[in-house]
């Protein structure tokens, strides 16, 4: 991997990880369109370390607060006694589905799920679900923030599993699930970001260990550059999306997904992209 490629891949990862347009899908599509070939699922997972670091630093206070709450609830035997402890345990519960499925579907994640046709389909399919979810939440009305419960967290964790298929988007699938639960956009995005830390970190460590020989062929310097660029652009992406969703819906991202999906379908049908 050349340094130029590393910079572009890191930028793509950072800008698309938290915006609901699919970072994994873009990390697959952009290199193919530029003629570089697929960097592989392992490289994609390791580059995510940059965005994990960005979300950890951005939410440092929340992470400290939730960690203290988690252990307080653990040691006292009252995990839902206060808001901090309750939210921390919600994050733990929400992480379970993707950990289990991530292990069970490892071969599919590295194989058939990375098909360009699969990515194209997911771009459009999740866009449809997001649009339906937006209409449902607007029609039924949003719930109060204080009403967020274990079922909401568990379903958002289940929604996160959809992101195992490239083209889905972790934030897109979790925010979409939250909207079906009538959770506000900014609250859904915030919980989605915090919830992603354990799963994305675990995936990155797993890929780093199991695919170290493949990653070595890409070069550790380019990988480090990609992680650094992903960190900077990822931090900016978090800052932007949290502020944007306070006053906007996800419709601009939905239409972006429709347009990109249509373009990719045309390129595939015409043979421009294999």
Q: Which domain holds residue 135?
A: 3-269
For residue range 80-124, what is the model confidence (pLDDT) as tens digits?
888 888 888 899 889 888 888 887 887 777 677 778 899 999 999
Whether 60 is covered by a domain: the verdict is yes
Q: Do residues 118 and 112 touch, judged by C-beta distance below 8 A?
A: yes
Q: What is the pLDDT of residue 79?
A: 81
Whether 159 is covered by a domain: the verdict is yes
Q: What is the pLDDT of residue 249?
A: 93
Q: What is the pLDDT of residue 231?
A: 93
48: nearest Cα among 256, 214, 223, 216? 223
Whether 89 is covered by a domain: the verdict is yes
Reported as type and span, the H/E element at residue 11 is helix 3-17
pLDDT at residue 41 tops 70: no
Of the segments 25-39, 198-212, 225-239, which one has the largest average pLDDT value? 225-239
Percent of the chain having pLDDT more than 90? 38
Whether 126 is covered by a domain: the verdict is yes
As for how many domains the chain has, the answer is: 1
Q: Do residues 263 and 32 touch, judged by C-beta distance below 8 A?
A: no
Whether 214 is covered by a domain: the verdict is yes
Q: What is the pLDDT of residue 80?
A: 82
pLDDT at residue 137 tops 90: yes
Q: Do residues 19 and 239 touch, judged by C-beta distance below 8 A?
A: no
Whether 103 is covered by a domain: the verdict is yes
Residue 205 neighbours by CB under 8 Å, 6+ apart? none
pLDDT at residue 204 tops 70: no
Q: Which two tokens stand for residue 253?
A: 């991202």
Whether 49 is covered by a domain: the verdict is yes
For residue range 218-272, what is the model confidence (pLDDT) as tens digits?
677 888 898 899 999 999 999 999 999 999 999 999 999 999 999 989 988 998 7
Whether 274 is covered by a domain: the verdict is no
Q: Which of 33-47, 62-76, 107-121 has the lowest mean pLDDT?
A: 33-47
| Rounded Cα distance, 36 and 5, in Å | 8
């Amino acid at each position: 991997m050349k340094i130029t490629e590393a910079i572009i891949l890191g930028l793509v990862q950072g800008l698309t990880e938290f915006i609901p347009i699919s970072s994994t899908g873009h990390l697959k599509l952009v290199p193919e369109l530029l003629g570089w070939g697929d960097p592989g699922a392992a490289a994609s997972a390791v580059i995510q370390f940059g965005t994990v670091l960005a979300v950890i630093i951005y939410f440092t206070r929340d992470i400290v607060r939730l960690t203290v709450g988690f252990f307080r609830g653990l040691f006292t035997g009252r995990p839902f006694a206060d808001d901090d402890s309750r939210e921390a345990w919600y994050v733990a519960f929400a992480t379970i589905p993707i950990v289990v499925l991530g292990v069970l579907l490892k071969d599919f994640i590295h194989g058939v799920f990375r098909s360009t046709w699969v990515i194209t389909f997911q771009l459009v399919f999740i866009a449809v679900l997001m649009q339906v979810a937006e209409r449902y939440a607007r029609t039924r009305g949003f719930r109060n923030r204080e009403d967020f419960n274990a079922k909401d967290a568990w379903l958002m964790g289940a929604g996160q599993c959809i992101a195992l298929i490239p083209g889905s988007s972790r934030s897109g699938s979790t925010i979409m699930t939250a909207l079906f639960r009538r959770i506000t956009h900014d609250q859904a995005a915030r919980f989605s970001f915090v919830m992603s830390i354990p799963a994305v970190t675990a995936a990155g460590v797993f890929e780093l260990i199991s695919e170290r020989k493949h990653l070595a062929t890409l070069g550790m310097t380019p990988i480090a550059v990609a992680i650094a660029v992903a960190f900077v652009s990822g931090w900016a992406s978090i800052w932007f999306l949290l502020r944007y969703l306070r006053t906007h819906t996800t419709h601009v991202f939905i239409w972006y997904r429709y347009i990109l999906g249509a373009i990719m379908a045309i390129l595939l049908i015409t043979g421009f992209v294999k």
